[in-house]
Chain A
């Protein structure tokens, strides 16, 4: 089993676990689209001497590689399998972020919060709305105000 094969095996294992499609990088297309950036990258690459990384021998062992893969998979799993309650809060918070404080404090909005998470959710919604209300510019000079009006 060579190194390249090992990497492919690891990629596939991770890919199967998180069930995502592998993103493809179209280098030709990128070169055409960003010629300046490509030139800059080429000139930088020419300045850096190629270095081969010397990994300790024990890191090349299949057991260590398997353990590393297992840790990565577990970390991804833990990240993805979060409690549904967290998801709910996150979804509700995303929805709230788009709303004005006035909208967040309508009867309808608060009722939905209650249906989502009881009185605690209503209280959280009140706190979030207050945070929005409190976020006002601390100071504005008369000059700035005039400039704003002129700008309109």
Chain B
């Protein structure tokens, strides 16, 4: 009897577990992949139905006009889209199903559509800002930051698009900060959210590493046709033509360059296993040098990467193994600067929020920066802080070597 009871209990437990697990799978919301919700949002998203409305929304984003009834109706129609996107942005995992085996033919349509949704969020944020709902307005910008994290976690290009979206969100957070009343609680909440978002932002070096894996898989004899296409497509010719158009042409140097290029293409076309093995080795050494340079402080890293780029371009003239690397290596020193600009911008906004908090608590701006705030990454030092009539300025102490300029960030304070 007890044996039968035992069997019945086991049976009931199994059924309970099966029902619980299956219902959680069927009814579980949100899913554990944010991409599913983004895709649902893309499906139901309604575009502005005429040019007028489209222009009005752009003007609203740029702060040229205030929201009107037509704009409000448009956002009301797209409310489910914004809800889906907001929920999606809070899911930790996002898998777009990018097929890395396609090599450089891998498609990334999500980059375009996510950007579009980001612009819609900016406009919606402006509506809330106009209505005095500062927290929801800020929440829309934080959603853009979280979306940026979801698209920028694996390749260099997606990382760059993500960085641009972060820049967009920070730009509008700055505007909201300049208009919102001093409210310690909201500012503290924003600071914590920003720290959370910035901590989870994927690094460029991990994107470089992931893209290097794709490149190494591509540099193989069986992919010769694809590689020839990569170094000799119409687009590449377009670049070459455009580049020669901008520089004063020295006939013999141009001729020599063209000849070397054609010889290299021939070597690639007839390349044996040894050629590809040497090319892979060259590329791997290049990536190792890049990783080492990225660990250095900005100025040293930039100079090192510039030297590396020059070395590859020069060696490609004499060493066939350098040819593919010279085509596959992005403008790496520029990328390093991009990352510094992005991270330093983040640090400036977080530092500014701290200053707004002091202002909210004491009624006045501090005379100097408190200790322990995020740094200007160009110099590795604190930002230079300066009060002015409208608010304050945070200035970098190190130079952006790509643009040869010092970045500064101006924050206004509501009077």
Taking a contact as CB atoms under 8 Å apart, the answer to whether A129 and B112 are in contact is: yes
Taking a contact as CB atoms under 8 Å apart, the answer to whether B104 and A106 are in contact is: yes
Beta-carbon nearest neighbor of A130 in chain B: B112
Q: Which residues of A contact B47 (CB under 8 A)?
A: 134
Q: Which residues of A contact B245 (CB under 8 A)?
A: 84, 87-88
A123 to chain B, nearest CB (A): 6
Beta-carbon nearest neighbor of B331 in chain A: A115
B388 to chain A, nearest CB (A): 30
Residues facing B in A95-115 (CB within 8 A) are 95, 101-102, 105-112, 114-115
Q: Tell me the complex Cα distance, A107–B107, Å.
A: 6
Q: Is B164's CB within 8 Å of the partner chain A?
A: yes
Beta-carbon nearest neighbor of B108 in chain A: A105
Taking a contact as CB atoms under 8 Å apart, the answer to whether B111 and A110 are in contact is: yes
Taking a contact as CB atoms under 8 Å apart, the answer to whether B104 and A105 are in contact is: no
Residues facing B in A65-94 (CB within 8 A) are 84-85, 87-88, 91-92
**Chain A interface secondary structure, helix, strand, loop or mixed?**
helix
Q: Tell me the complex Cα distance, A108–B156, Å.
A: 11
- Within the complex, which residue of B107, B160, B235, B331 is in contact with A102, where a contact is CB–CB below 8 Å? B107
Taking a contact as CB atoms under 8 Å apart, the answer to whether B236 and A111 are in contact is: no
**Chain B interface secondary structure, helix, strand, loop or mixed?**
helix
Q: Is B163's CB within 8 Å of the partner chain A?
A: yes
Beta-carbon nearest neighbor of A123 in chain B: B164
Q: Is B161's CB within 8 Å of the partner chain A?
A: yes
Asked if A119 meets B338 with Cβ closer than 8 Å, knowing A127-B112, A130-B112, the reply is yes
Asked if A102 meets B242 with Cβ closer than 8 Å, knowing A109-B235, A119-B160, the reply is no
Taking a contact as CB atoms under 8 Å apart, the answer to whether B107 and A105 are in contact is: yes
Total count of chain A residues near the partner, CB < 8 A: 30
Beta-carbon nearest neighbor of A132 in chain B: B112
Q: Which residues of B contact A105 (CB under 8 A)?
A: 107-109, 111-112
Taking a contact as CB atoms under 8 Å apart, the answer to whether B234 and A119 are in contact is: no
Taking a contact as CB atoms under 8 Å apart, the answer to whether B164 and A101 are in contact is: no
- Within the complex, which residue of A88, A108, A109, A126 is in contact with B242, where a contact is CB–CB below 8 Å? A88
Q: Which residues of A contact B64 (CB under 8 A)?
A: none
- Within the complex, which residue of A91, A114, A115 is in contact with B160, where a contact is CB–CB below 8 Å? A114
Per-position binary interface string of chain A over residues 117-141, scored 1 when its CB falls under 8 Å from any chain B CB and 0 otherwise = 0110011001101100110000000
Taking a contact as CB atoms under 8 Å apart, the answer to whether A106 and B106 are in contact is: yes
Per-position binary interface string of chain B over residues 89-131, scored 1 when its CB falls under 8 Å from any chain A CB and 0 otherwise = 0000000000000011111110111011000000000000000
Taking a contact as CB atoms under 8 Å apart, the answer to whether B107 and A118 are in contact is: no
Total count of chain B residues near the partner, CB < 8 A: 35
Taking a contact as CB atoms under 8 Å apart, the answer to whether B112 and A126 are in contact is: yes
Taking a contact as CB atoms under 8 Å apart, the answer to whether B235 and A110 are in contact is: no
Q: Tell me the complex Cα distance, A100–B359, Å.
A: 53
Q: Tell me the complex Cα distance, A115–B156, Å.
A: 12
Q: Which residues of A contact B116 (CB under 8 A)?
A: 130
Q: Is B407's CB within 8 Å of the partner chain A?
A: no
B114 to chain A, nearest CB (A): 9
Taking a contact as CB atoms under 8 Å apart, the answer to whether B242 and A129 are in contact is: no
Taking a contact as CB atoms under 8 Å apart, the answer to whether B112 and A108 are in contact is: no
Q: Tell me the complex Cα distance, A5–B23, Å.
A: 93
Q: Is B4's CB within 8 Å of the partner chain A?
A: no
Beta-carbon nearest neighbor of A116 in chain B: B239
- Within the complex, which residue of A91, A95, A111 is in contact with B157, where a contact is CB–CB below 8 Å? A111
Taking a contact as CB atoms under 8 Å apart, the answer to whether A129 and B109 are in contact is: yes
B256 to chain A, nearest CB (A): 22
Asked if A106 meets B107 with Cβ closer than 8 Å, knowing A84-B246, A114-B157, the reply is yes
Taking a contact as CB atoms under 8 Å apart, the answer to whether A123 and B242 are in contact is: no
Per-position binary interface string of chain B over residues 244-255, scored 1 when its CB falls under 8 Å from any chain A CB and 0 otherwise = 011000000000
Q: Which residues of A contact B334 (CB under 8 A)?
A: 118
Q: Is B241's CB within 8 Å of the partner chain A?
A: yes
B233 to chain A, nearest CB (A): 8
Taking a contact as CB atoms under 8 Å apart, the answer to whether B238 and A123 are in contact is: no
Q: Is B11's CB within 8 Å of the partner chain A?
A: no
B257 to chain A, nearest CB (A): 17
Q: Which residues of B contact A130 (CB under 8 A)?
A: 112-113, 115-116
Beta-carbon nearest neighbor of A129 in chain B: B112
Looking at B112, B236, B246, B334, the one whose CB has the most chain A CB atoms below 10 A away is B112
Q: Is B330's CB within 8 Å of the partner chain A?
A: yes
Q: List 14 A-B contacts (CB under 8 A).
A: A91-B242, A95-B238, A101-B109, A102-B107, A107-B103, A107-B104, A107-B155, A107-B157, A111-B330, A114-B160, A123-B115, A126-B115, A127-B112, A133-B112
Beyond contacts A133-B109, A134-B47: 12 other A-B pairs, Cβ-Cβ < 8 A, are A84-B245, A85-B246, A88-B242, A105-B109, A112-B236, A114-B160, A115-B239, A119-B163, A126-B112, A126-B115, A130-B115, A133-B113
